[in-house]
Amino acid sequence: MPDWPDDAEALDAEQRRLAALSPELWTPPLGTLRAAGAFVAFARGEQGPGRPGDHEWVGAALVAMPDVRVLAQAVVQARAGARYDRGRLALREGPALAAAITALGSPDVVLVDATGRDHPRGAGLALHLGAVLDVPTVGVTHRPLLAQGAWPLEEPGASSPLVLGSTEVGAWLRTSAHARPLAVHAGWRTDVATAVDVVRHCVAGARTPEPLRQARIAARVARARAEGAPPEDRRIP
């Protein structure tokens, strides 16, 4: 696995390099989609900007869609490489996310809680992670980083563009009626249309796409066990 940049200057340069690339776009397979999700849970009290060395549990899940079969799960416990700095999430979470996804095998696509081209240097962690692992990626976040756009209509499946400057870099997607839409980001080897189609394909009755939801559950359950806390509610939306 290639080394991750370990300081802001090196990361900024790598992000600019990745943003300038035009890799061949991925075409999702017909039928079953082996979609992975990855999510980082930090120790209680270490969320927010945090600091280097914070405890993190990275959950990863490989789910066959649309029949919602969990094929594999993995949890990696690690230490954050840096505090959170907007646009430099890779320093804090990148290596641990890569390790958790690698433990799953070979997914068709990876969904991660990070942005792609909606980024100051055009290559957020969702895109960077895919380039490192050589796998198509899609970012799914609660809000855009820099891009802007009006919310879509209320019905599930409705989408509307997220634009940065004059470029469409993602989309709002309504995955559940009357719930806040998610921001979906084009990542490594995916364009906006493909990213939206993948997330639509991975929704199974909850607001969060199922691979990412299962990864989040795995990370939070592992954290609760490590901290001696009561198990968290598995019915996470």
**Is the pLDDT assigned to residue 2 strictly greater than 80?**
no
Alpha helices (H) along 146-236: 192-202, 210-227
Average of per-residue pLDDT across 229-233: 63
pLDDT tens-digit readout, 163-204: 999 999 999 999 998 899 999 999 999 999 999 999 999 999
pLDDT tens digits, 72-99: 999 999 999 999 999 999 999 999 999 9
Lookup result for tokens 């017909």: 30
pLDDT of residue 235: 45
β-pairing verdict for 109-112 and 137-141: parallel
Residues 36 and 74: beta-carbon distance below 8 Å:
no
Q: Which residues of 90-120 are buried (b: 16+ CB within 10 A; e: fewer)?
A: bbbbbbbbbbbbbebeebbbbbbbbbbbbbb
Note the pLDDT tens digit of each residue in 7-47.
Answer: 999 999 999 999 999 999 999 998 999 999 999 999 987 77
Alpha carbon 89 to its chain centroid, in Å, reads 11
Alpha-helical regions (H) of the chain: 8-19, 89-102, 125-133, 192-202, 210-227
pLDDT greater than 90 at residue 232:
no
CA distances from 45 to 51, 85, 227 (A): 11, 17, 12
- Percent of the chain with pLDDT strictly greater than 90: 89
pLDDT at 162 over 80: yes
Q: Are 98 and 23 in contact (CB under 8 A)?
A: no
Does a cis peptide bond (omega within 30 degrees of 0) precede residue 66?
yes
The pairing of beta strand 137-141 with beta strand 182-186: antiparallel
Domains of the chain: 8-19+29-227 (3.30.2170.10)
What's the predicted TM-score (pTM) here? 0.94
Q: What is the pLDDT of residue 231?
A: 59
